[in-house]
Structure 1
Amino acid sequence: MDLRITHNIAALNAYNRLNKNNKSTGSSMEKLSSGQRINKAADDAAGLAISEKMRGQIRGLNQAHRNIQDGVSVVQTADGAFQQITDMIHRQRELIVQGMNGTYTYEDKRNIEQEIHQLTEAIDSIAKGTDFNTINLLARDDYQILADRSSHTVEVTTSGPFPPTVTDLEQYTYFFPIGTTEVPLTVQSSDTGTTVSDTYTTDARMTPITSTDGRQGYNDYEKNVHTHTETTATTERSYERTLVTDPRFKELDVKSNTINNVFFQTTLIPNGTIVGQYPDFGGFEDRYTAVEIDGVSHTLNEFTLIGSSVTADTISAVYEKDGIQVEKIMSSDGSGFKAEFKVRNQSGIDGKQIRFSAVFQPEYNGAYTISSSSGVPVGGTASNTEIPDSGTVFELSNDLVDYNFSFLSGGSYAKPDSLTTGGAALMSGSTADGITPSWEIAGLDDGAVAEFGISLGNFNFKKDVYLIKNQTTTEIDSIVETVTTDIKDIDYIPPKLDIQTGDAENQFISIPLYNVKADGLGITNIGILPPAVPENSLARTDGALARVTNYRSVYGALQNRLEHTMNNVDQYAENLTAAESRIRDADMAKEMMEVTKSGILTQTAQAMLAHSNQNPQSILQLFES
């Protein structure tokens, strides 16, 4: 053993190791207590530099998040005002459409005009009062004009004359006294006048552009076209009256027809029958034909149709109810008409009590004069004895035709038991009196037939049918069209708010600020009373709506962009924070392990130092020996 007392090399070595272990333990304890791996530049100079730059970015991104939130608030504030302005322009347009209706008086229109003007002032008030942190958003006039291609043009075009147009209105329904003079096509009146029409159209749109120096701007385009047309035309009105000799208009034939005023209406012909073309002389209807069987009354349209036939001059139909058959036969011989009724008992029971009545309703404009040269009472009820056995019973007359009314006589025909004129249930719209004959059969045996009927004859037409032509000839002499076109075509850079959306320079989103006052929207002088023109005002409200809609679409897109940018900033900050944590933060488990290891080594070094200090004591043993 090399024994020296001047230098205790072993102790020095142990002492050095103890110092190193103490230093290592202190470093680990510092990291554990702070939670950070780098507490001073000496811990990791390069890591500290990277970490500090990352911390600057993270704090910048957190502030950018708040900036973007402010930007979203700006857009939402403006859009809320845009919504109110849009609603008011819609209301103005509604009022203009209302005021253009001719049912309103001047006072009404003045009240409407007042509301339109109040809405215009309210639009200005909202635009001027919509601020964010005292910054006005919607009444900005501080635009930078890049280019102005606006123009005003007036074009006048004259055309004409044009070939005349002729419109004819022909009618065959006019009756004039026989011998009325025909009138050739003659001009009755002529006049020349000028009609004026005005149309207004508008086209407004906003288009994003980029200036030569890279700035974001817009093209503001609005085209208003006023077309004023003056049409000068000469109108002639002519009249012609021509006698119609077509015999069909006076034919005395029973014909099926779809006219509702019918002659001898039956269920066989769905819409009834009529005599000739003109006029409708009248007839019987099933609903007013009553058949009383043993005291029980029915109308003929309640019977069942069991047979029918139609020829050129005859229509017949057979009805049946409770064994009682009614045959109705309508016919014409070219000079008059005949209606026959045959009531048969097919019930198998003798002595049927039958009462039959039918209403004849004369028709021609619902007015006939009924008279009786045979002395039959008119306007009341006549008995069987007051009715002549044959010949004319009544004369029917109006300004168109005269004809006689009589009952069929001779053979098996029986005249009515009573006869009533006036007070009948007439056709819809008719004011003529009815003629209601009634036949009573005290006992109709099984198989027996009762016959009766009426005839119309001795027709005397007092008027003829004429063709009337009303002709209108219009010749356009000239059309003068004046087209006034106002175009606003401006490239401009609007004032803006730059929203800092990142932690570095040139990381921003610009929010353009517009002018949505009445003058900026082109609706300053709209209304429905002079000097405003309703049609032009209507077109300008359409343009204003298009302009505001464009602005709102820009702001809507900006809000979506800002929100997506904010999400990206949040994600970016999160990722940077994770990266900075990996550089700066301490690994607690590792440091605990280092503390444990250093503690053990420190204790060992202390033991070795004590042991090394005991080695020089062996020199004393040499002196003692």
Structure 2
Amino acid sequence: MSRINTNVGSMLAQRVMNQQNTSLNQSLERLSTGLRINRGGDDPAGLIASENLRSEQAALNAAISNAERADQVVNVAEGGLQEINAMLLEMQSLIGESANDAGLSREEKEANQQQIDAIMQSIDRIASTTSFQGTKLLNGSFDFQVDNLNAGVDELKVHGAKLGSNEMDINVIINQSAQRGGLVLDFDGGLALGSGAGQDRFAIELGGADGSRLFEFASGQSTADMATQINSFTGVTGVSAVASGNAVVIRATEFGSSNFVSARVVNDGGADGSISVLSGTEVDAGSEVDFSAANSIVRGDGQDVGGFVNGQAARGDGLNLQINSDMLNASITLSEDAAGTLGNLAVGTITGGGAKFNLGPSVDMNNEVRLGIGNVAARNLGNSSVGFLSDLGSGRDANVVDGDLGKAQDVVNAAIKEVSTLRGRLGSFQSNVVRSTINSLGVTLENVSAAESAIRDTDFAAETAEMTRSQILAAAATQTLGMANAQPQSVLQLLG
């Protein structure tokens, strides 16, 4: 080369050296930060994908934290309910002890009553003080609010619902009426026995959900007397009777398929008449069995109410309809009239309430869980059918000094069932919703993190090799630049 104004070789060496230094600096940055993508220019598409995955990671971490917090809230509520359950069992023991009337003095009964009063005060205190970060858990703060409750609904308990920002109407379609099991004992012209041996009495065994009893009636005894005799053992059998002319109508005391009336004529005494099965208010055609042929058991079964709640098939149990779907978990106890009438029934409108948890990465209805926790004060434990726990207080009709101990026991049994059912729902929420959600979210977080790492993190093995290559090439480019800069000096020899 004999031209010196433009050193093309030097320019080429400078460009290559700059490229190699840029590559070396990029490798050093990636190795020092641990990230393959440090700015948008490193990989625009990869940056977008990794930032989206980072957003998902943040949402998943928040969802896991929410689920763990929900588990802690339920643990606190469960602790209070566990203590209430223990006190109810103690109350049950005191009622049983007080029933031993001949072996207990009045002073001892009054002492038992004082303990029951103290237990109810403790239950109220636990209900009003059990809290999580100042939020009361068992005083009804997390119960659902329902407006426009239908008069045909005796009790509505909403255990869970997905409301979002809207209200929810509860509508029922009843397609099967609730019925009590029933039989009709029809004495043709009254109870007239024969005159032969063994015909001095009419003996029949009647049974129900609670037990059975053998009844014996004399010739000429009125159906009203028979009904009275049967009703005196209602607490033993679970059936009651009313006289209707020359017939005695016997029904189960409760509605539902588990409540029935059975009859077996042990000795017809020569009496004329028959047993027929009742279906609702009508006698089943073809069910009539003569007394003389009724050695086997004739049985009339009850029927559970059946229907749909908000378009979902509901489970019937007596007068109660239960629905447990993703959108609604509720128990609806209908009045006798409502449960016996087929058709549509507008139950009411859920306007809000419930303990709301967001257990997913997205803030929407799909990831929303609302858990209903009612007020567990003594005045609310029990039900409208048997009574409430406050009825056991001093001077109330179910106190243990001079009150109805049978009612007291029924109320405590209902309260124990209510508290244990609530504990079971909370336990199911923890086990089947919260903990399974934490496990699922944990697996998703691992996979999302792995995907984000594959896109954004530095592969140290590959990047170290790239840095070594860049170092060698940068050194070679530097040496080549020196040679290119020295080459024009050979022109000086031509001037010598």
Amino acid at match of 1:209: I
> Residue 562 of structure 1: CA displacement?
0.6
CA distance in 1, matches of 2:95, 2:137: 29
Amino acid at match of 1:523: L
Deviations 1:250-302 (A, max 9, x none): xxxxxxxxxxxxxxxxxxxxxxxxxxxxxxxxxxxxxxxxxxxxxxxxxxxxx
The 1:491–1:122 alpha-carbon spacing in structure 2 relative to 1, beyond 3 Å, is farther
> Residue 117 of structure 1: CA displacement?
2.2
CA distance in 1, matches of 2:192, 2:424: 52
User: In the alignment, is the contact (CA less than 8 A) between 1:109 and 1:528 conserved in 2?
Assistant: no
CA distance in 2, matches of 1:131, 1:207: 32
Which residue of 2 is the match for residue 49 of structure 1? 48
The alignment status of 1:557 with 2:428, answered yes or no, reads yes
User: In the alignment, is the contact (CA less than 8 A) between 1:120 and 1:524 conserved in 2?
Assistant: yes
User: In the alignment, is the contact (CA less than 8 A) between 2:355 and 2:370 conserved in 1?
Assistant: yes
Amino acid at match of 1:538: Q
> Residue 27 of structure 1: CA displacement?
0.8
* Secondary structure of the corresponding residue to residue 42 of structure 2: coil
Which residue of 2 is the match for residue 130 of structure 1? 130
* Secondary structure of the corresponding residue to residue 379 of structure 2: helix
Which residue of 2 is the match for residue 517 of structure 1? 377
The 1:222–1:93 alpha-carbon spacing in structure 2 relative to 1, beyond 3 Å, is farther
Amino acid at match of 2:70: G
User: In the alignment, is the contact (CA less than 8 A) between 2:359 and 2:437 conserved in 1?
Assistant: yes
What is the correspondence of 1:5-44 to structure 2 with a 5 Å cutoff?
Answer: 5-44=4-43
Which residue of 2 is the match for residue 76 of structure 1? 75
CA distance in 1, matches of 2:425, 2:8: 84
Which residue of 2 is the match for residue 88 of structure 1? 87
Which residue of 2 is the match for residue 282 of structure 1? none
The alignment status of 1:600 with 2:472, answered yes or no, reads yes
CA distance in 2, matches of 1:89, 1:492: 33
TM-score by length of 1: 0.47
What is the correspondence of 1:155-194 to structure 2 with a 5 Å cutoff?
Answer: none
Structure 1 vs Structure 2 CA RMSD: 3.6
User: In the alignment, is the contact (CA less than 8 A) between 1:36 and 1:585 conserved in 2?
Assistant: yes
Deviations 1:51-100 (A, max 9, x none): 12222221222222222111111111111222221222222222222222
* Secondary structure of the corresponding residue to residue 520 of structure 1: coil
* Secondary structure of the corresponding residue to residue 73 of structure 1: helix
Amino acid at match of 2:69: D
CA distance in 2, matches of 1:587, 1:570: 25
CA distance in 2, matches of 1:166, 1:91: 51
Amino acid at match of 1:496: G
Give the structure with the higher percent helix.
2
User: In the alignment, is the contact (CA less than 8 A) between 2:36 and 2:456 conserved in 1?
Assistant: yes
Which residue of 2 is the match for residue 60 of structure 1? 59
What is the correspondence of 1:39-438 to structure 2 with a 5 Å cutoff?
Answer: 39-103=38-102, 104-140=104-140, 143-145=144-146, 147-148=149-150, 149-150=152-153, 197=232, 199=235, 209=323, 215-221=327-333
Larger deviation, residues 542-551 vs 28-37: 542-551
Which residue of 2 is the match for residue 322 of structure 1? none
TM-score by length of 2: 0.59
The alignment status of 1:497 with 2:369, answered yes or no, reads no
Which residue of 2 is the match for residue 400 of structure 1? none
CA distance in 1, matches of 2:55, 2:111: 64
CA distance in 1, matches of 2:25, 2:123: 72
Amino acid at match of 2:456: R
The alignment status of 1:612 with 2:484, answered yes or no, reads yes
CA distance in 2, matches of 1:108, 1:604: 105
Gaps of 5+ in 2: 156-179, 194-198, 202-224, 239-252, 256-316, 337-345, 382-387, 393-397
* Secondary structure of the corresponding residue to residue 41 of structure 2: coil
> Residue 140 of structure 1: CA displacement?
0.4
* Secondary structure of the corresponding residue to residue 525 of structure 1: helix
Which residue of 2 is the match for residue 544 of structure 1? 415
The alignment status of 1:585 with 2:457, answered yes or no, reads yes
User: In the alignment, is the contact (CA less than 8 A) between 1:137 and 1:513 conserved in 2?
Assistant: yes
User: In the alignment, is the contact (CA less than 8 A) between 1:218 and 1:491 conserved in 2?
Assistant: no
The 1:583–1:136 alpha-carbon spacing in structure 2 relative to 1, beyond 3 Å, is same
CA distance in 2, matches of 1:586, 1:150: 65
The 1:612–1:529 alpha-carbon spacing in structure 2 relative to 1, beyond 3 Å, is closer
The 1:81–1:222 alpha-carbon spacing in structure 2 relative to 1, beyond 3 Å, is farther
The 1:207–1:71 alpha-carbon spacing in structure 2 relative to 1, beyond 3 Å, is farther
* Secondary structure of the corresponding residue to residue 42 of structure 1: helix
User: In the alignment, is the contact (CA less than 8 A) between 2:113 and 2:400 conserved in 1?
Assistant: yes
CA distance in 1, matches of 2:481, 2:401: 114
User: In the alignment, is the contact (CA less than 8 A) between 2:355 and 2:371 conserved in 1?
Assistant: yes
> Residue 138 of structure 1: CA displacement?
1.3
CA distance in 2, matches of 1:151, 1:585: 63
Residue in structure 1 matching 2:406, options 514, 529, 535: 535
Which residue of 1 is the match for residue 280 of structure 2? none
Paired residues in the alignment total: 329
The 1:490–1:124 alpha-carbon spacing in structure 2 relative to 1, beyond 3 Å, is farther
The 1:151–1:596 alpha-carbon spacing in structure 2 relative to 1, beyond 3 Å, is closer
The 1:516–1:69 alpha-carbon spacing in structure 2 relative to 1, beyond 3 Å, is same
Deviations 1:26-50 (A, max 9, x none): 1111111111101111111221122
**Percent of aligned positions with the same letter in both sequences?**
29
> Residue 220 of structure 1: CA displacement?
4.7
Deviations 1:448-505 (A, max 9, x none): xxxxxxxxxxxxxxxxxxxxxxxxxxxxxxxxxxxxxxxxx97785832222222211
> Residue 549 of structure 1: CA displacement?
2.1
* Secondary structure of the corresponding residue to residue 524 of structure 1: helix
CA distance in 2, matches of 1:60, 1:123: 40
The 1:66–1:596 alpha-carbon spacing in structure 2 relative to 1, beyond 3 Å, is same
Amino acid at match of 2:323: I
Give the structure with the higher percent strand.
1
Deviations 1:184-205 (A, max 9, x none): xxxxxxxx9x989474988999
Gaps of 5+ in 1: 168-191, 225-488
The 1:220–1:538 alpha-carbon spacing in structure 2 relative to 1, beyond 3 Å, is farther
CA distance in 1, matches of 2:40, 2:113: 78
CA distance in 2, matches of 1:608, 1:546: 91
Residue in structure 1 matching 2:441, options 549, 569, 574: 569
The 1:528–1:619 alpha-carbon spacing in structure 2 relative to 1, beyond 3 Å, is closer
CA distance in 2, matches of 1:47, 1:574: 19
CA distance in 1, matches of 2:329, 2:349: 6
